[in-house]
Amino acid sequence: MPRMGGGQKSYSANSSDYKLLEEVGYGASATVYRAIYIPFNEVVAIKCLDLDRCNINLDDIRREAQTMSLIDHPNVIKAYCSFVVDHNLWVVMPFMAEGSCLHLMKIHYSDGFDEPAICSILKETLKALDYLHQQGHIHRDVKAGNILLDSNGVIKLADFGVSACMFETGDRRRARNTFVGTPCWMAPEVLQPESGYNFKADIWSFGITALELAHGHAPFSKFSPMKVLLMTIQHAPPGLDYDRDKKFSKLFKEMIAMCLVKDQTKRPTAEKLLKHSFFKNAKPPEHSVKHLFTDLPPLWQRVKAIQLKDAAQLALKKMPSAEQEALSQSEYQRGVSAWNFDIDDLKAQALLLRDDDDIQEAKDEDASNKTSTSNKEKDKHRSTWGESSTGGGVLLPLEGQENTNQDEFFSSDYLKGKGKIPGVIVEPSGQEKPIFKTNGISNDIVSPVIEKDRQAKIKAHTIRSRQTQSGPLVPNAVLGHSPPERGENENVAASEKPKIEVRKAPSFSGPLMLPNRASANSLSAPIKSSGGFRDTLDEKSKANLVQIKGRFSVTSENFDLVKDIPLTSFPRRSQGSPLRKSASVGEWVFEPKQAPTNPPIKEYGSTSLPASAIMPHLQNLLQQTTLQQELIASLLNSLQPNEADATQNGKLPPLPHGSEMNGTIAETSASHRERLLLIKVSELQARMMNLTYELTAEKLKYMQLQQQLNSLSNPEQNGEPREECA
Ligand SMILES: Nc1ncnc2c1ncn2[C@@H]1O[C@H](COP(=O)(O)OP(=O)(O)OP(=O)(O)O)[C@@H](O)[C@H]1O
């Protein structure tokens, strides 16, 4: 059955009436083609959604098609009609010859547009938002990729894949509890299901879009979606920097700051924002925007170029990174395209980001989740709507057009929640089946299949979280450029903070990049980059662990130096104390082992330096060794007198007079003294062992040096061939 399109035209639902031409766009859930509608010989755009591949249900699609067919505003894309062809949904709409702002930025304006162009684009977008909000819709996916341009400069807001009606239960503009959107553009309240959100979420996304158009990318866009979620909640809102973004006007900066306020109640409405002075001087888009694409090739060629560029970039990357990207993309698709956005699940995933080892595992899990969801959705589509029976496709029963008309839709019945509402599938039994998972406390309605799937995922994440240690997700340093939180914006829900702190503790998540200082000051094994507590002390050092005090850890290895350390690895400055000042922190650290910093002695032999240069050095070493030998000998000699002195100097308790004591006291005192003496003896023994070791090491060195000296002064004895005279 034909549909009424723009004006009085009607468009058929027969796919053979359309001739698909080039691909002009692709998103998370769809591919868009330029096409000819043969009966009128008119160029149109057809958005093809692969129902099998996409993690979306038919009700979502019905919602988008319904919204698109009901709307009537010059700045909002309208659907002429939509129908199912095989396993695809086709949505026919006007063709916007210059594509999206995102495409333009990708192909030619990687640093963003000029301010006059941005001003016009934003003003037109804001008009669209104002209209949608007035009509009771929240767009929920405002971004540069959804702002389309025509060659005459007309600007339209597109993609109602995630849009929602605010009248669902009759409360006009009531706060919603679903979690939908695109991470970088998502308002903080959308990420906190307990708070609910309303049309002001679009104003936040609008502010992010303004930044996107100004810089060529959205803030935080280089981070994984999961990280972006947490950054949006935990950090100050992004904005234009007053110094760095000098090329932009103060008014523009102010307007963005008004949108990006964390407290949704303090954000202006679209209507109010339109009155902001920034938009007062906006030029008509046909004057300020057309120059952006005058010299560019046709849209489809640009899209091809972007695809090739993306593919080349991906191929250039190392495989693990490419895998990461694929994973990130699939996470993004899962997160954005799915209506059931589970914040706990996402946070759990974010916590696991992202040890390389986990990537394949997570990818597999993701793939299997997607497959099962896709199959479930497929079944759902079939059971609810039936298969396409004709080659020409089946017309979707658009509620707005068949079950009710627009007036009816916005009539008091809908406002009171009595009418059929988007988000509800009417079962054959006549029962209304909710299709959204609402995360609100009072109205949690979760499909058992989804809930089971979610539980399984959480379980899997819990298991993985025990195996994985990751660092803090959002190192402060990353956001060092962020302006300080504006006072009025400091409204992260109090309940959020404890949650975040609690998360850190059980995961042992230390900084991903531990400060060098930590590893320099520790006696433990080198700290790996992914290291948390477990990695800091490897199994060997843990086994030897005696004590940890602050930054000092003493391992039993300290006491086994003589046994364990090969002589060649003994430090040259062994005569010094093993305690040294740490350069990085100015505190003393104990350094039992030290890698030799000088080349081994063998290397001196192979050097081409003349003997005269080496001789003084060797002689000096020899002298040092002799001195050390003498020193050690005198220390050894002094050990016995020291012990005697210790008793006399009162370091040990004096022996009590036997006549003054009864037997028990004398016994206790004697054993106490005995213990102290034993301690003293073992201390002296340890010192002696160390000194003996040093002596041995020095002797060896001395011998090697002597050998070296001999070979240098008398090469013949070393068996080196004598040079024959000619
Ligand atoms: N009517 C149109 N005319 C020309 N190009 C279009 C049209 N509609 C969409 N496109 C292009 O196709 C791209 C993808 O379209 P759309 O955003 O609807 O897909 P999607 O899968 O819903 O994307 P996402 O969910 O990632 O936002 C757009 O970014 C735009 O470049």
Q: Are 229 and 349 in contact (CB under 8 A)?
A: no
> How far is the C-alpha of 353 from the C-alpha of 502, rounded, in Å?
17
Q: Is 202 in the pocket of ligand 1 (CB under 6 A)?
A: no
Residue nearest to atom 6 of ligand 1 (CA): 99
Instruction: Check residue 519 and give its pLDDT.
Output: 28
Ligand 1 binding pocket mutation candidate from 18, 157, 159, 221 (most atoms within 8 A of CB): 159
Residue nearest to atom 24 of ligand 1 (CA): 27
Q: What is the pLDDT of residues 108-141, one digit of tens each?
A: 898 899 999 999 999 999 999 999 999 888 888 8
pLDDT (average), residues 534-561: 31
Ligand 1 binding pocket mutation candidate from 22, 37, 146, 331 (most atoms within 8 A of CB): 146
* 446-454 long-range contacts, CB within 8 A, separation 24+: 446/340, 449/376, 450/340, 453/369, 453/372, 453/373, 454/340, 454/342, 454/345
Cα dihedral 533, 534, 537, 542 in deg (nearest 10)? 120
Instruction: Check residue 117 and give its pLDDT.
Output: 94
> What spacing in Å lies between the alpha carbon of 6 and ligand 1's midpoint?
19
pLDDT (average), residues 353-377: 37
Instruction: Check residue 612 and give its pLDDT.
Output: 61
> What spacing in Å lies between the alpha carbon of 607 and ligand 1's midpoint?
70
Q: Is 91 in the pocket of ligand 1 (CB under 6 A)?
A: no
Instruction: Check residue 658 and give its pLDDT.
Output: 42
Q: Which residue has the higher pLDDT, 231 or 529?
A: 231
Q: Are 56 and 127 in contact (CB under 8 A)?
A: no
Q: Which residue has the higher pLDDT, 561 or 23?
A: 23
Confidence of residue 409 (pLDDT cuts 50, 70, 90): very low
> How far is the C-alpha of 126 from the C-alpha of 273, rounded, in Å?
8
Confidence of residue 142 (pLDDT cuts 50, 70, 90): very high
Confidence of residue 39 (pLDDT cuts 50, 70, 90): very high
> What spacing in Å lies between the alpha carbon of 99 and ligand 1's midpoint?
8
Identified catalytic residue from 59, 60, 130, 141: 141
34 vs 21, 26, 98, 100, 190, CA distance in Å? 5, 12, 12, 14, 34
Q: Is 154 in the pocket of ligand 1 (CB under 6 A)?
A: no
Q: Which residue has the higher pLDDT, 656 or 556?
A: 656
pTM: 0.49
Ligand 1 binding pocket mutation candidate from 11, 47, 81 (most atoms within 8 A of CB): 47
Instruction: Check residue 143 and give its pLDDT.
Output: 93
pLDDT at 496 over 90: no
pLDDT (average), residues 151-166: 72
47 a known binding residue? yes
700 vs 61, 439, 446, 615, CA distance in Å? 83, 75, 77, 18
Q: Is 47 in the pocket of ligand 1 (CB under 6 A)?
A: yes
Instruction: Check residue 621 and give its pLDDT.
Output: 64
**Tokens (6 digits) for 713:** 């002064």
Ligand 1 atom with least separation from CA of 159: 18
Q: Which residue has the higher pLDDT, 697 or 100?
A: 100
Instruction: Check residue 310 and give its pLDDT.
Output: 78
ipTM associated with this complex: 0.97
pLDDT (average), residues 78-94: 87
Instruction: Check residue 430 and give its pLDDT.
Output: 35
Instruction: Check residue 19 and give its pLDDT.
Output: 96
Q: Is 95 in the pocket of ligand 1 (CB under 6 A)?
A: yes
pLDDT (average), residues 358-365: 37
Instruction: Check residue 394 and give its pLDDT.
Output: 32
> What spacing in Å lies between the alpha carbon of 145 and ligand 1's midpoint?
7
pLDDT at 40 over 60: yes
pLDDT at 272 over 80: yes
Q: Is 27 in the pocket of ligand 1 (CB under 6 A)?
A: yes
The lowest-confidence range among 324-328, 583-587, 651-655, 656-660 is 583-587
Q: Is 55 in the pocket of ligand 1 (CB under 6 A)?
A: no
Question: Is 141 among the residues known to form the active site?
Answer: yes
Q: Is 32 in the pocket of ligand 1 (CB under 6 A)?
A: yes
> What spacing in Å lies between the alpha carbon of 101 and ligand 1's midpoint?
11
